[in-house]
A and B are shown apart, each in its own frame.
Chain A
Amino acid sequence: MAIQRPGERYRYSRFLKRRAQGKRSTTVLLSLTAMVDMFTVLVIFLLQNSDPGALNFVPANITLPKASVVKDLKPAVVVSISAESVLIENESIVTLVQVKDAKDWVIPELKKIIEEKLLIAQKKYEIKNKNYIREAVANKASTDGNGGEASLNWNKVTVQADKGIDILTVKKVLTTLTVAGAREINFAVTKTAVSSTL
């Protein structure tokens, strides 16, 4: 059977279009519904992505190592080790050269500040604990497990070190933290799906 060129479709004919359009209107209505829909979806997505648990700010010069089996960050004293210095809550305490040159594994400057920070944390814990007991007595009910667990460990320290830092420096910082009274030491990492081969 021969293939023939399709004829004109009346639906799209110029004749019908001209009749239907008539006089052209000067008022243009902008349909905002689609835009509002898109905005709503975007806001929901961004709200879901916003992480209230992002407790610590990672300095730009620190590249955290990656790990797959991780836990959520808890509020704690944050000690950062960058290629230049050791920082506590983004305040430089001692330079890395000083740490490397030190023969003693306990860094006095760091120890002093960690002790102060842990003392503040302990005081906060005690105040919280007092209220906790009061609430428990007033309610005569079993206490909230999560709240109790959160307030039990006040001597927590999170170490966020650059992935290229030598282990000896990290060991010196860990020794100082242990001597200063830190009991729970956590390492900040970037969460990854599967740990890559080194």
Chain B
Amino acid sequence: MAQIESGRGGGRSKNVDLNLIPFIDLMSVLITFLLITAVWTQVSMIQLGTSFYSKKVEGVEPIKTPDMDISLRVDIKSSGYTIVFGQQYFSIPLKEKEFDTERFFSEMEKIKKQVPNKQDAVVAISNELPYEILIHSMDQLLRSGFPAISIAAGGPK
């Protein structure tokens, strides 16, 4: 037990014993509880910027973003990415049988430099691809500064 010595004075001993046992008990229970309820994987979210392009809903106006008239579409097929920016086409084939996300990101960054105010982009993805590729592509778009992402219901052209 921890002792607090308050010096010598009078006949009565002034040594105080602080009882740490209840404190340790409380700590043990608290640690056990916190260890059980601890969240080791942090779940977050990616927001679908504007809409899912499937059906126009009455009374709901689409969100207007700057430079919306310049089209930016990302086609994701099993063969790789195709970026359609205005009249320009960029094709990013698979790299070692995997999607080249880094090159996709660098191309999107170049586009962002050309139109810094533009925020929207449309993603058209093939139906047979896994969901993970959509999330990775959206992540790269968000990284390059296009937060208003829409997903086209139809597949890529």
Contact = CB atoms under 8 A, between A and B. Distances in A.
Interface residues of A, number: 59
B35 A46 contact: yes
B5 interface: no
B44 A70 contact: yes
A165 B143 CA distance: 24
B13 interface: no
B54 A178 contact: yes
Interface in B64-118: 98-102
Interface string B128-157: 111111111011101100000001010000
Nearest to A33: B2
B127 A168 contact: yes
A167 B125 contact: yes
Nearest to A164: B130
B47 interface: yes
Contacts of A178: 51-52, 54-55, 57
Contacts of B127: 166-168, 171
A72 B135 CA distance: 16
A191 interface: yes
Contact of B43 (A39, A171, A191, A195): A191
A170 interface: yes
Contacts of A42: 31
Size bin of chain B's contact surface: 35 or more
B38 A50 contact: yes
Nearest to A183: B60
Contacts of A164: 130-132
A58 B44 CA distance: 11
Nearest to B28: A39
Contacts of B48: 184-187
A43 B135 contact: no
A36 B24 contact: yes
A71 interface: yes
Interface string B37-50: 11101111111100
A190 B20 contact: no
Contact of B45 (A33, A66, A71): A71
Indicate the member of B47, B100, B131 with the most A CB atoms within 10 Å.
Answer: B131
A51 B39 contact: yes
Interface of A: 29, 32-33, 35-36, 39-40, 42-43, 46-47, 49-51, 54, 56, 58, 64-74, 81, 105, 158, 160-168, 170-171, 174-175, 177-179, 183-191, 195, 197-198
22 contacts: A36-B27, A42-B31, A43-B30, A50-B39, A54-B43, A67-B44, A68-B143, A69-B46, A69-B143, A71-B47, A167-B131, A174-B151, A178-B52, A183-B60, A184-B48, A185-B48, A186-B47, A187-B135, A189-B44, A191-B42, A198-B98, A198-B133
Given A72-B45, A190-B42, 5 more contacts: A40-B27, A67-B142, A174-B52, A174-B151, A179-B55
Q: In the A-B complex, list the 3 residue pairs whose CB atoms are closest, starting with the nearest.
A: A70-B44, A46-B34, A168-B127
